[in-house]
Structure 1
Amino acid sequence: MRSEPCVSIIVPTLNEEKYIRDAINSLIPTGESLDYELIVLDGGSTDHTRSIVENMSKLNPRIRLETNPARYQSAAVNRGAIIAKPESEIIIRADSHAEYPLGFVAGLVRELQERDVASVVVSMRTRGKGFLQRGIAAAQNSRLGNGGALHRIAKVSRYVDHGHHAAFARKTFLAIGGYDESFTHNEDAELDIRLRKSGEQIWLCSELAIGYFPRNSFGALAKQYFNHGAGRARTMFKHRRPPKVRQLLPLGVLGMNMLSFAAGWGFGWLCFLPSLVYVGGCLGGGAFLALSARDPAGCAAGPAAMIMHHSWAAGFLHRALHVSFSNDRRVVSDEALR
């Protein structure tokens, strides 16, 4: 029987005073058998996030607060993996914008050991607190918004190529170079490609699904998905991977609506029909989600899905055009140059 390994739980954070306390409390392993430390990497919070963590660390010395000068999640996890205790064998990446099921950390350790894999990923169920956030969550939990992403819909554990990052064998994570810190978004999918190329396997554990709190405004949602689309384009160019069908759909929607509106203004209202059908389908899908969940907030899922589709596609095209027309054709993040 294997002995319990030492685990480092890494929590990147930035202005998360509303969520950080519950996130940490749900991550702390129960019982005394698991040797762990919990490192919060703060990217320069201007709210009460740091003071909350500092107060929690006084009650539990295994919690420690560190700085993340680069601010991005990718840099935070890399730094956490480096500064973790020397005896730490497993690193766990945890979002401060989430809550975790009972026994989450111990379950990840068990899955890593029993499956003999380099990475364990988990399913993610988005949920909200207010009306708009619940509507955005409904969109992200449905095919209307997520397009069938496996870590959003999977109910059975299995080997996968990508998922929501949760646990890594520390030695392997460091050996492949950790996250590419020039990526501000989609760094997880990019790392998974390198992990699979190195011959390692990834296990999706659906039983350890986490609860995630989405953005609570349409503006913040649009910015997030624009960045997601740009990050996905960078990953595809870097590794010369063609997009999947579900990733092509938002691009098709954006192109269809642009052509529909342009043709409608020039040739008459009939040309608006494709866009009207799309809008009606999204709004109808939101109404269906509202009725299914018996929550009127589901009606906001339709507008949320439309924002997600168009923002993702715009971000993807922005990055693709930037790479295509750059003189040296290098895939370099704008943020990395600042």
Structure 2
Amino acid sequence: MTVDAAASVRCLIVIPCLNEARYLEPLVRQLEPTLSDLNATLVIVDGGSTDGTREIARRLAATVPKMRVLDNPKRIQSAAINLAVDMFGVEHDYLIRIDAHGTYPQDYCRVLVEDALETGADSVVVAMQTVGFGTFQKATAVAQNSVLGNGGAKHRAGAQSHWADHGHHALMRIAAFRAVGGYDETFTANEDAEYDYRLQQAGYRIWMTARTSMIYYPRASALPLFKQYFGYGRGRARNFLKHRSRPSLRQLLPLMVAPVAAGAFLAALTWIAAVPFVLWAVACMGYGAWMALGQRNPYGPLAAVSAMIMHFAWSAGFWREVLDIRQRRVPA
């Protein structure tokens, strides 16, 4: 792949954000050289931040060439991406989605474009590694990087470059994005997996590259982590309901956690009701102990707690959505 080939396409780099004042300016400064390298436009789409993010974005836009700022009254990420594509997509070939709450290699965008051109893929996805700083965040990162927390998902664990059905969204061909209708804005979470399903149903292809990846910073305390995974569970349920698809084995196991936890309350009537819950808890804590002893990772036991929060929240969110009578009519 020559430099000229990668630079000959037009890229729309979009950062949807909400209250990311701490992260936005360093991220923009990191991406600034890419704007000229790849003939790219950078768009910050703010969902109504109250921490000064919008002011930072507008200040940067005054000094960074080819940078734009949009307000996103719908607040959610799916709407932010759609808005940017509606406003600027016709002028560009590829969309690159950047999460404000992450860190990227210097050549991240270039590698994505090179792989798209070499493979002819309509979407290029990447693996995502989590990194923490405080004690709970470090433990959650350990959990999310382990089979206990990610179930062996390749976009979490990483893999050799291959054609895939899903991954962490990075680059999308704008023509394909528009052809399938972009993101479904009824999804506040899991919009990426839902989009990937429709993309493949329409005959487009997804390439997972091993040449680059991104670093994500997980939630730093238990309640935000629970809320995040509760939303993920609801989003996954909406996906299954909309497309009448079925969970994979990797998803079926954590899916049973909330019913098992609820069933444990019947232990007042018979101790047998608590057995499934106890087995799940022992399995998680045992895996955490193995990480502590076998891998010499001091965060293993607390990582098991983080994983249990993620399992329960995801399962609870899933069943909350499935059992909601209003979801009996799901838009096609």
Q: Which amino acid aligns with 2:111?
A: G
1:116 aligns with 2:120: yes
Q: Cα gap change, 1:172/1:29 in structure 2, threshold over 3 Å: closer, same or farther?
A: farther
Q: Work out the CA distance in 1 between the residues paired with 2:113 and 2:129.
A: 21
Task: Specify which of 292, 298, 306 is matched with residue 304 of structure 1.
Answer: 306
2:218 alignment partner in structure 1: 214
1:37 aligns with 2:36: no
1:335 alignment partner in structure 2: none
1:21 aligns with 2:20: no
Q: Which amino acid aligns with 1:311?
A: A
Q: Work out the CA distance in 1 between the residues paired with 2:237 and 2:213.
A: 27
Q: Secondary structure at the match of 2:328?
A: coil
Instruction: Give the superposition deviation at 1:198.
Output: 1.0
* 8 Å Cα contact 1:125/1:211 also seen in 2: yes
Structure 2 matches for 1:207-246, cutoff 5 A?
207-246=211-250
Superposed CA deviations along residues 105-130 of structure 1, whole A, max 9, x for unmatched, are: 11111111111011000000011111
Q: Work out the CA distance in 2 between the residues paired with 1:285 and 1:35.
A: 48
2:154 alignment partner in structure 1: 150
Structure 2 matches for 1:1-338, cutoff 5 A?
2=5, 4-30=8-34, 32-84=36-88, 86-262=90-266, 264-268=267-271, 272-291=274-293, 294-322=296-324, 325-326=325-326, 329-331=328-330
Equivalent residue pairs, number: 328
Superposed CA deviations along residues 172-197 of structure 1, whole A, max 9, x for unmatched, are: 11121100111111111111111101
Q: Secondary structure at the match of 1:125?
A: strand
The TM-score normalised by the length of structure 2 is 0.92
Q: Work out the CA distance in 2 between the residues paired with 1:31 and 1:171.
A: 21
Instruction: Give the superposition deviation at 1:153.
Output: 1.3
* 8 Å Cα contact 1:27/1:100 also seen in 2: no
Instruction: Give the superposition deviation at 1:34.
Output: 1.7
Q: Secondary structure at the match of 2:106?
A: coil
Superposed CA deviations along residues 57-90 of structure 1, whole A, max 9, x for unmatched, are: 3331222221111100000000111112643111
Q: Which amino acid aligns with 1:35?
A: N
* 8 Å Cα contact 1:42/1:71 also seen in 2: yes
Q: Secondary structure at the match of 2:93?
A: strand
Instruction: Give the superposition deviation at 1:291.
Output: 4.8
Q: Secondary structure at the match of 1:200?
A: coil
Q: Work out the CA distance in 1 between the residues paired with 2:56 and 2:194.
A: 33
Q: Work out the CA distance in 1 between the residues paired with 2:32 and 2:287.
A: 38
Instruction: Give the superposition deviation at 1:303.
Output: 1.1
* 8 Å Cα contact 2:151/2:250 also seen in 1: yes
Instruction: Give the superposition deviation at 1:149.
Output: 1.3
* 8 Å Cα contact 1:23/1:97 also seen in 2: no
| Deviates further, 271-280 or 232-241 | 271-280
Identity of aligned residues (%): 43
Instruction: Give the superposition deviation at 1:216.
Output: 1.1
Q: Work out the CA distance in 1 between the residues paired with 2:232 and 2:105.
A: 26
Instruction: Give the superposition deviation at 1:165.
Output: 0.6
Instruction: Give the superposition deviation at 1:160.
Output: 0.5
Q: Secondary structure at the match of 2:96?
A: strand
Q: Could you list the structure 1 runs, at least 4 aligned residues long, displaced by more than 6 angstroms after superposition.
A: none
Q: Which amino acid aligns with 2:317?
A: G
| Deviates further, 126-135 or 280-289 | 280-289
Q: Cα gap change, 1:182/1:271 in structure 2, threshold over 3 Å: closer, same or farther?
A: closer
Q: Which runs of 5+ in 1 are unaligned?
A: 333-338
Q: Cα gap change, 1:59/1:306 in structure 2, threshold over 3 Å: closer, same or farther?
A: same
Instruction: Give the superposition deviation at 1:31.
Output: 8.4
The TM-score normalised by the length of structure 1 is 0.90
Q: Cα gap change, 1:224/1:109 in structure 2, threshold over 3 Å: closer, same or farther?
A: same
* 8 Å Cα contact 1:134/1:298 also seen in 2: no
* 8 Å Cα contact 2:263/2:274 also seen in 1: no
Q: Work out the CA distance in 1 between the residues paired with 2:274 and 2:315.
A: 20
Q: Work out the CA distance in 1 between the residues paired with 2:283 and 2:164.
A: 31
Q: Work out the CA distance in 2 between the residues paired with 1:102 and 1:293.
A: 31
Q: Which amino acid aligns with 1:23?
A: L
Q: Which amino acid aligns with 1:150?
A: K
Q: Secondary structure at the match of 2:125?
A: strand
